[in-house]
Amino acid sequence: MKVTPAHDPNDFQAGKRHNLPQIDVMDEHAHMNQNAGRFAGLDRYEARKRVLADLMEQGFLVGEKDHTLALGKCDRCGTVVEPRLSEQWFIKIQPLAQKAIAAVESGEITIVPENYKQIYLNWMTNIYDWCISRQLWWGHRIPAWKCDGCKEFIVAREAPVKCTKCGGTKLEQVSDVLDTWFFVRTVALHNPGLAAEDTRSGSLLSDHAAHHGVRDLIFLGGADDHVWLPLHAGARTRSAIKSASGWAEKKNDSVPFRQVYIHALVRDADRQKMSKTKGNVIDPLDIIQRFGTDATRFTLAAMAAPGTDIAFSESRTMAIALRQQDLERGAVHVHECGSSGMWRGRPRPRNLAGSERHSSNTALNSGKTAGFFSRFNRVTAEVNDALAAYRSTKLQTAPTIFFGASFATVPGTDQATPEF
SS3 116: helix
Same domain, 401 and 304: yes
The proportion of the chain whose per-residue pLDDT surpasses 70, expressed as a percent, equals 73
Same domain, 218 and 248: yes
Same domain, 291 and 250: no
Which pLDDT value is given to residue 99?
87
Q: Do 26 and 82 contact (CB within 8 A), yes or no?
A: yes
Same domain, 226 and 301: no
Predicted structure pTM score: 0.62
Q: Do 360 and 371 contact (CB within 8 A), yes or no?
A: no
pLDDT averages per 10-residue partition of the chain, 420 residues:
86 92 92 94 94 92 88 85 90 88 88 87 90 89 93 91 92 92 73 46 46 55 41 37 42 68 83 83 91 89 80 88 81 70 47 43 59 87 86 82 72 45
From the number of C-beta atoms within 10 Å of its C-beta (0-12, 13-18, 19+), residue 245 rates as buried
Rg of the Cα trace of the chain?
Answer: 31
Which pLDDT value is given to residue 287?
92
Domains in the chain: how many in total? 3
Q: Do 264 and 304 contact (CB within 8 A), yes or no?
A: yes
* Residue 152 counted as domain residue: no
Residues recorded for the chain: 420
- Give the CA distances from residue 192 to residues 178, 189, 291, 402, in Å, rounded to whole numbers and listed in that order: 20, 6, 47, 51
Last residue of a domain, one of 86, 121, 155: 86
* Residue 120 counted as domain residue: yes
Which DSSP symbol is given to 126? T
* Residue 277 counted as domain residue: no
Range of the domain at 21: 1-86
* Residue 154 counted as domain residue: no
Which pLDDT value is given to residue 390?
81
Same domain, 322 and 252: no
* Residue 160 counted as domain residue: no
Same domain, 127 and 237: yes
Please state, in angstroms and rounded to a whole number, the distance separating the CA atoms of residues 397 and 1.
59
- Omega cis (within 30) before 113: yes
Cβ count near 228 (within 10 Å): 19
Same domain, 135 and 213: yes
Same domain, 305 and 240: no
Same domain, 99 and 243: yes
Same domain, 99 and 80: no
Same domain, 361 and 400: yes
How do residues 138-184 score in pLDDT, each as one tens digit? 888 999 999 999 999 999 989 999 999 999 999 999 999 999 888 88
* Residue 416 counted as domain residue: no
